[in-house]
């Protein structure tokens, strides 16, 4: 009877995981939003600023109850937007829950340290969110690397007699993702009637980059007080390139520390697998004896503490 119940539970969990993955790959709501935006920008009279903001924010305000509770700890909707992923937050939450439940049940079926299945389930449940965080970090790094070239392009456009929004349009047309789409979206927003200052503020919210904040502040101040914006953009671009050069030197100097951290963190799991192959009964005492349970838990905690300490040592802000 117990075996039948476990089999049914595992089947339901796997089915839920498959369904969540299928939902993750479908996003009809985004397609409908894009169609409505296309129809608004191609036909009909232009919207005023208030109507444009209301239309653009109507979908952002739709939050599920689970997402609202999760937003107290992590803003998943903003993370997905910054990662350039069109998936709805509810689908990521569903995928996380399904993955955690499936892996936890599989660990319980193994019969070793049943209480440890909770930690295994939580660890695997965090993988989808960690993937979103990885995509977000990679996209923001790429945006920061493209920013100097984009500022130089806008500066050349200003010197050629184009307006600042036209410079944004050039960046959106001629530069790759992610900076092309972000500046293109900023250009489209101000075309819909939103003031350029508010469009720039929204851009800095979507892309939390310090250099982009400098650029937005410089543009807002220049529009209020006047000045040579092209020269300002050249100086900001030069400053960003010099900072990247210093960052590269720091990465080279801390390379030994980062490699040492990888080796030290990978050595205990690798040694565990080797000993599991050489002497299986000796290693299994860690999972069979109460003292072994405490030793495993202590080892995991110390691994996490060591990883955090090494990261703080080699992570030097520029």
The pLDDT, as a whole number, for residue 112 is 64
The CA distance from 51 to 44, in Å, is: 14
Q: Average pLDDT for residues 272-288, to the nearest whole number?
A: 84
What pLDDT does 134 receive?
A: 92
Residues 132 and 149 in one domain: no
> What would the mean pLDDT of 28-42 be, rounded to a whole number?
47
pLDDT digits (tens, 9 = 90+) for 130-189: 999 999 999 999 998 899 999 999 999 999 888 888 889 999 888 888 898 899 999 998
**Do 61 and 122 share a domain, yes or no?**
yes
How sure is the predictor about 38, in pLDDT bands with cuts at 50, 70 and 90?
A: very low
Residue 21 has pLDDT above 80, yes or no: no
The predicted-structure confidence for 58-102, as pLDDT tens digits, reads as follows: 444 455 566 666 666 677 888 888 888 888 888 888 888 888 888
What is the average pLDDT across 279-290?
A: 83
Both tokens of residue 178? 């992610």
Q: Among 81, 113, 136, give the residue marking a domain's end.
A: 136
Note down the domain range covering 179. Answer: 139-249
| Confidence at residue 190, expressed as pLDDT on a 0 to 100 scale | 87
pTM of the model as a whole: 0.67
The C-alpha atoms of residue 148 and residue 208 are separated, in whole angstroms, by 16
- Give residue-wise pLDDT tens across range 203-226: 988 888 888 898 888 888 888 887
The last residue of one of the domains, among 136, 163, 186, is: 136
Q: Is 293 left (phi over 0), alpha (psi -120 to 50) or beta?
A: alpha
CA–CA gap between residue 206 and residue 186 (Å, rounded):
11
DSSP secondary structure code for residue 46 in this structure: P
Mark whether 48 and 157 lie in a shared domain.
Answer: no
Confidence of residue 51 (pLDDT cuts 50, 70, 90): very low
Q: Residue 45 — very low, low, confident or very high, per pLDDT cuts 50/70/90?
A: very low
pLDDT at 56 over 50: no
Q: In the prediction, which pLDDT does 44 show?
A: 43
Structure tokens at 158: 């200003």
Q: Are residues 301 and 192 in the same domain?
A: no
Report whether pLDDT(57) > 60. no
- pLDDT range class, residue 27, cuts 50, 70, 90: very low
Same-domain check for residues 32 and 75 = yes
Q: For residue 194, is pLDDT > 80?
A: yes
Q: Which of 249, 272, 296 marks a domain boundary? A: 249
Residue 114 has pLDDT above 60, yes or no: yes
pLDDT band at residue 105 using 50, 70 and 90 as cut-offs: confident
- The total number of structural domains in the chain stands at 3
Average pLDDT over residues 26-33: 47
Question: Within this chain, do residues 76 and 161 fall inside the same structural domain, yes or no?
Answer: no
| Residue from 116, 123, 70, 114 nearest 92 by CA | 70
Banded pLDDT at 43 (limits 50, 70, 90): very low
Residue 37 has pLDDT above 80, yes or no: no
254 within 8 A of 262, measured Cβ to Cβ: no
Is 270 found in the same domain as 206? no
**Spatial contact of 23 and 94, defined as CB atoms under 8 Å apart:** yes
Q: Is there a single domain that holds both residue 52 and residue 144?
A: no
Closest CA to 236 of 214, 220, 219: 214
Higher local confidence (pLDDT), 13 or 283: 283
Do 43 and 150 belong together in one domain? no
Amino acid 131: pLDDT: 92
Q: Are residues 183 and 278 in the same domain?
A: no
Question: Are 73 and 124 in the same domain?
Answer: yes
One domain, residues 151 and 229: yes
Burial 28-64 (b: 16+ CB within 10 A, else e): eeeeebeeeeeebeeeeeebeeeebbeebeeeeeeee
Packing angle between helix 127-159 and helix 164-174, nearest 10 degrees?
A: 130
CATH of residue 153's domain is 1.20.81
């Amino acid at each position: 009877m117990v075996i039948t119940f476990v089999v049914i539970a595992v089947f339901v969990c796997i089915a839920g995981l498959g369904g969540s993955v299928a939902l993750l790959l479908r996003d009809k709501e985004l397609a409908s939003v894009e169609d409505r935006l296309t129809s608004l920008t191609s036909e009909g009279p232009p919207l005023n600023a208030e109507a444009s903001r209301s239309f653009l924010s109507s979908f952002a305000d739709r939050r599920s109850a689970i997402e609202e509770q999760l937003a107290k700890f992590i803003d998943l909707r903003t993370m997905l937007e910054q990662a350039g992923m069109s998936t709805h937050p509810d689908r990521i939450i569903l995928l996380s829950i399904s993955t955690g439940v499936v892996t936890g049940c599989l660990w319980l079926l193994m019969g070793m340290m049943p209480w440890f299945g909770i930690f295994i389930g939580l660890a695997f449940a965090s993988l989808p969110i960690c993937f979103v965080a990885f995509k977000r970090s990679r996209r923001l790094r790429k945006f920061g690397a493209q920013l100097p070239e984009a500022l130089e392009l806008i500066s050349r456009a200003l010197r050629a007699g184009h307006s600042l929004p036209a410079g944004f349009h050039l960046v959106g047309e001629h530069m790759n993702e992610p900076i092309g789409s972000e500046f293109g979206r900023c250009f489209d927003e101000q075309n819909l009637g939103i003031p350029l200052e508010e469009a720039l503020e929204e851009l800095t919210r979507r892309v939390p980059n310090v250099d982009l904040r400098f650029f937005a502040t410089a543009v807002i101040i220049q529009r209020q007080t006047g000045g040579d914006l092209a020269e300002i953009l050249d100086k900001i671009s030069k400053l960003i390139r010099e900072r990247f050069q210093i960052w590269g030197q720091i990465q080279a100097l801390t390379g030994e520390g980062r490699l040492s951290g990888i080796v030290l963190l990978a050595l205990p799991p690798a040694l565990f697998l080797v000993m599991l192959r050489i002497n299986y009964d000796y290693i299994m005492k860690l999972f069979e004896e109460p003292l072994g349970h405490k030793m495993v838990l202590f080892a995991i905690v110390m691994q996490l503490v060591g990883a955090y300490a090494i990261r703080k040592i080699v992570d030097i802000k520029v």
